């Protein structure tokens, strides 16, 4: 059963629609100036579905009025043909959002875009990322009597945008962006324009494309541009605000370029982004291929076949096979009709998703020395299930090679890793993990090796989940909220 909700400013009366969680991986898209804005938005959201599968929403403007529709489930659940047809007449400008959230917060109130009415009229906001100072800001507002419907960091941004002293600034959006710490790609829709902002470190990706008719698209990944036949123009730069209105595309910076070192999330390259996408200036498939090659150089082993854990490790496995000269083969088949296990919110659902999704091809692995390539190991429970399935199918030896280093720390910038104690590499050695997984050998790529596979200097990427070196300090929130409300699970 899917829960849907039409949003209208009249219905909302300025009450913010939001949810209780803070950690999310999401995808955002904005379409400006196209007669098929809703349809294109839906298509682009399909392309971004891997970034979030719990809820989807679109807000559409006709130049005077914004209307929205959000719902729980996949894009196809929330926007069936009838719903899409209903919305096509709503306007030629739209923003869309696909969302993933943490356990317990998967409900309609959390779906975005958030559509509200405030003193200047209507606005709708879509956010990908995670603010580390959201709770600090929220506490300040609450101390002054502000009421929040949920605990979402996106709701905090809405309050910042609606605050009278901020509205009185010459550039409210830029002023508000300077208040935000953490990762954010924001799409702000007002009746007459779309504004897009990216955090000053460029933690999450955001790109701009153009349609042949002169309209524009802004999206989390270029795979969304490809599906709607838009031409890639460029990325939204870190610290930049791009405005698209009747006069075209304009740019300004709320943080001058060069003042803050970039911290692109390299986990986007390792796992999260679509292999066809250009992320942080380079193709994701090529980066993963290079990581596989590097892994083969660092952790070679005599074996018969190289097998990827579908789907994210496929590119790395190809790279490993190319470098090692060991034949690549498919050891698993995958069902495309089950969700990604990593971003299923509840453990029982994750386990079920893995079982539904993967089958071992016995004829490929039986009696063979198998090198299995995995992109990352988070909890280890699902990896263990895959390894034991391989063993049951008759694999003679299992050598697991991982295309990212051991994950030991939580992410505060928008990837929902489990609590520190649930991370298998947190307090276990590689040998202990290999034993737990029931395999013959285990090697992770080195941090330096992984960072050598991307084109920008190593210090332009965030790697805190491996190294523990957070590019934006989290000390204050850890101190202030570890025993309180903020991301309790991270500190258990
Ligand atoms: S901590 Fe890890 S997942 Fe989070 S932004 Fe940094 S590299 Fe990405």
Which residue ranges form the domains of the chain, and what is each CATH number? 4-263 (3.60.20.10), 287-459 (3.40.50.2020)
> Residue 338: its pLDDT value, please?
55
CA atoms of 478 and 409, how far apart (whole Å): 13
Structure confidence at residue 152 (pLDDT):
78
CA of 464 to the centre of ligand 1 (A): 6
Alpha helices in 13-143 (DSSP H): 37-47, 75-78, 81-87, 134-143
The torsion of the CA quartet 322, 324, 330, 331, rounded to 10 degrees, works out to -160
Tokens 């491996």 correspond to what residue?
A: 466
How confident is the model at residue 382, as a pLDDT? 86
How deeply is 402 buried, as exposed, middle or buried, from its count of CB atoms within 10 A (0-12, 13-18, 19+)?
buried
| Residues 6 or more apart whose Cβ sits within 8 Å of residue 355 | 385
Nearest-CA residue for ligand 1 atom 5 is 265
Helix, coil or strand: residue 479: helix
Report the pLDDT value the prediction gives residue 350, as an integer from 0 to 100.
53
CA 85 – CA 326 distance, rounded (Å): 51
204 close to 51: Cβ distance less than 8 angstroms: no
Catalytic-labelled residue, pool 26, 223, 453, 462: 26
CB atoms within 10 A of CB 118: 17
Per-residue confidence (pLDDT) for residue 337, from 0 to 100:
64
Q: CA 268 to CA 246: how far, in whole Å?
A: 33
Residue 481: per-residue pLDDT = 65
Residue 348 to residue 154: CA distance in whole angstroms: 29
Q: Which residues line ligand 1 (CB under 6 A)?
A: 203, 265-267, 411, 413, 415, 462-465
Q: How far is the CA of 465 from the centre of ligand 1 (A)?
A: 5
- Spatial CA neighbour of 187 closest among 126, 130, 144, 123: 126
Give pLDDT, residue 173. Answer: 98
- Measure 224 CA to ligand 1 centroid, in angstroms: 22
Tokens of 365: 């692995």
Vertex 476, ends 472 and 477: CA angle to 5°?
A: 90
Nearest CA among 344, 358, 433 for reference residue 389 = 358
- Give me the pLDDT at residue 20, please: 25
User: How much of the chain is in helix, strand and coil states, percent to nearest 5?
Assistant: 35, 25, 40
Task: Mark whether 26 is an active-site residue.
Answer: yes
Q: Which residues contact 157 (CB under 8 A, 6 or more apart)?
A: 125, 127, 131, 176, 180, 184, 186
**Separation of 462 CA from ligand 1 center, angstroms?**
6
User: pTM for the complete prediction?
Assistant: 0.89
Answer for the pair 377, 424: CB distance below 8 angstroms, yes or no: yes
Residue tagged 């209507």 (tokens) = 122
What token pair was written down for 178? 């300077």
Largest CA distance in the chain: 72
Which of 199, 280, 413 has the most ligand 1 atoms within 8 A of CB, as the residue to mutate? 413
DSSP 442: E
Atom nearest to 409 CA in ligand 1? 1
Secondary structure (3-state) at 28: strand
Which pLDDT belongs to residue 319?
A: 98
What average pLDDT values come out for the chain (492 residues) when binned by 10 residues? 47 26 70 97 97 94 97 95 95 95 58 94 96 89 86 88 96 97 97 98 98 96 98 98 97 95 96 96 98 98 96 94 98 72 52 70 97 95 92 97 96 84 92 97 98 97 96 78 51 42
Ligand 1 atom closest to the CA of 471, numbered from 1: 6
What per-residue confidence (pLDDT) applies to 100? Answer: 82
Residue among 232, 233, 254, 252 nearest 160 (CA):
254
| Element (DSSP H or E) covering residue 200 | none
Instruction: Give the whole-angstrom CA distance, residue 382 versus residue 92.
Output: 44
Three-class SS state of 429: coil
């Amino acid at each position: 059963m899917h829960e849907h909700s039409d949003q209208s400013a009249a219905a909302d009366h300025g009450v913010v629609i939001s949810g209780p969680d803070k950690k999310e991986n999401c995808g955002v898209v904005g379409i400006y100036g196209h007669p098929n804005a809703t349809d294109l938005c839906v298509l682009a959201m399909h392309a971004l579905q891997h970034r979030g599968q719990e809820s989807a929403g679109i807000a559409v403007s006709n130049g005077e009025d914004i209307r929205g529709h959000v719902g729980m489930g996949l894009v196809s659940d929330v926007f069936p043909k009838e719903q899409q047809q209903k919305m096509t007449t709503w306007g030629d400008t739209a923003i869309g959002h696909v969302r993933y959230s943490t356990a317990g917060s998967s409900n309609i109130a959390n779906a975005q875009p958030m559509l509200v009415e405030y003193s200047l009229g209507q606005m709708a906001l879509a956010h990908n990322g995670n603010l580390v100072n959201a709770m600090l800001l929220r506490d300040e507002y609450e101390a002054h009597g502000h009421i929040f419907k949920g605990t979402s960091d996106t709701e905090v941004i809405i309050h910042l945008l609606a605050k009278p002293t901020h509205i009185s600034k010459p550039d409210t959006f830029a002023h508000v962006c300077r208040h935000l710490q953490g990762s954010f790609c924001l799409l702000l829709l007002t009746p007459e324009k779309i504004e897009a902002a990216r955090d000053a470190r460029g933690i999450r990706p955001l790109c701009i494309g153009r349609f042949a008719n002169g309209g524009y698209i802004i999206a989390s990944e270029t795979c969304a541009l490809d599906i709607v036949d838009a031409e890639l123009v460029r990325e939204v730069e870190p610290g930049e605000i791009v405005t698209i209105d009747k006069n075209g595309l304009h740019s300004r910076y709320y943080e001058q370029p060069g003042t803050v070192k970039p911290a692109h999330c390299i986990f986007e390259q390792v796992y999260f982004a679509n292999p066809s996408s250009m992320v942080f200036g380079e193709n994701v498939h090529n980066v993963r291929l290079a990581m596989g090659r590097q892994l083969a150089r660092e952790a070679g082993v005599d074996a018969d076949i190289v097998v990827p854990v579908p789907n994210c490790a496929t590119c790395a496995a190809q790279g490993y096979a190319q470098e090692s000269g060991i034949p690549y083969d498919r050891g698993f088949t995958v069902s495309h009709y089950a969700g990604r296990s990593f971003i299923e919110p509840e453990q029982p659902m994750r386990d079920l998703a893995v079982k539904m999704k993967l089958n071992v091809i016995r004829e490929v692995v039986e009696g063979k020395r198998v090198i299995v390539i995995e992109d990352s190991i988070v909890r280890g429970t699902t990896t263990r299930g895959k390894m034991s399935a391989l063993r049951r199918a008759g694999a003679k030896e299992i050598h697991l090679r991982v295309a990212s280093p051991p994950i030991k720390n939580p992410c505060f910038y928008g990837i929902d890793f489990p609590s520190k104690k649930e991370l298998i590499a947190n307090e276990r050695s590689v040998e202990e993990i290999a034993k737990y997984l029931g395999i013959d050998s285990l090697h992770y790529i080195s941090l330096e090796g992984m960072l050598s596979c991307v084109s920008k200097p190593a210090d332009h990427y965030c790697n805190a989940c491996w190294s523990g070196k957070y590019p934006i300090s989290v000390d204050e929130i850890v101190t202030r909220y570890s025993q309180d409300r903020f991301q309790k699970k991270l500190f258990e």
